[in-house]
Amino acid sequence: MPLAKKLLQLPLQAALNVALAFTLTITLTTTLAGPARAQAAPAEAAAALPAVPPRDPAPGDLAQWRRLVLPNGIKAMLLSDPKLNVSSASRAVGVGSLADPPARQGLAHFLEHMLFLGTEKYPDITGFDAYLRRNSGFNNAYTAEDRTNFHFEIRHAAFEGALDRFAQFFIAPLFDARYTEREMNAVASEHQKNLENDLWREQQVQVQAYAVGHPARHFGTGSKTTLAGVTRDELLAFYRSEYSAGRMTLALTGNASLDQLEHWARQYFAAVPDRALPALVYPSDYLPHKAALRMLRMEPIKDLRQLSLQFPLPGLYGGWPNKSAELLGYLFGSEGPGSLLAQLKAEGLAPASAPAPSRPRGNTARWSCRSA
């Protein structure tokens, strides 16, 4: 395999010897495929869903699923299973920290926090959380580079009421300025926690090697410094310019029938505004090509000896049926006879067990693996 031959030609012996003395991050520039650019597709043109392989249910599996696109462009996946103990929902928005304005790092993360603080229909800022607690539920959210995810679970009988409240966050959020300082403190607290986390520290060191001006060279968490002075108008402007039904996907699971789940999806989420925004696409060349390895050294908080290799890739979302990420993971992670990992172990260059490599993220894709 051409890729395997390229990998085996890398100076791993020297690099791993260095890694025994200190934590090391090496970023490799490689050309695994030609540059890929996703085509922007308005929500109204997204009615056709990509084909998926036929499902082969296991014995006793009673689950049924259905996919649909709402009139406003939201792509929905429904799963009905009478064996489920709880109902749940997840909303993914194709906007993450890469969309932060250069002068307002962490704004997408801050928006994630502010979105839960009341809506025009349900103005109580604690109303959603209280409803979930009364019904044995919980919720959470996270901001990644290319997406933001909001999700919850709850007992079946209270699912419809939770969906009504949940949908309103994407229809008419209040963004009450009285709670700006409180949520800014929450974001700042997350940042302070990450300062002593070697994984977060490594990620922030890596971005210093990225191209100046590329969105990937960013600080996604945010802090009191980067968010100082943010106003409700600024937050609302970012929300309206980035959040749109056509950039959203919805997943509903429960013991209700597929027809009932579809009815709720249409009833409560059809009012999410479609602002006809195209999908966000970022250049794949976030790491300028060089003929040599880039080597970054980081002093860890913990007593670690670790090597991390990172490969820039073209976006892989468009070719997801080919399982390119999984094939790369197998190439690096397989421990069978003749594998790369088996050879490294035989030469004493890899630990007894290697962690699974991470998968590419977004259309500015990266694939990385680490050895401790």
User: What residues contact residue 231 under an 8 Å CB cut-off, 6+ apart?
Assistant: 177
Among 206, 258, 247, smallest CA distance to 108 is for 247
Which of these is catalytic: 44, 112, 120, 160? 112
Among 288, 293, 357, 356, smallest CA distance to 25 is for 293
Count Cβ atoms within 10 A of the Cβ of residue 35 and give its class: 0-12 exposed, 13-18 middle, 19 or more buried: exposed
CA distances from 153 to 44, 86, 162, 251, 252 (A): 30, 7, 9, 12, 10
φ/ψ region of 109 (left if φ > 0, alpha if ψ in -120 to 50, else beta) reads alpha
Rounded to whole angstroms, the Cα distance separating 1 from 8 reads 11
CB of 94 closer than 8 Å to CB of 362: no
Among 195, 205, 199, smallest CA distance to 26 is for 205
Q: Is 153 designated active site? A: no
CA 252 to chain centre: 19
Rounded to whole angstroms, the Cα distance separating 154 from 160 reads 10
Residue with tokens 């990937």: 216
Enzyme catalytic residues: 112
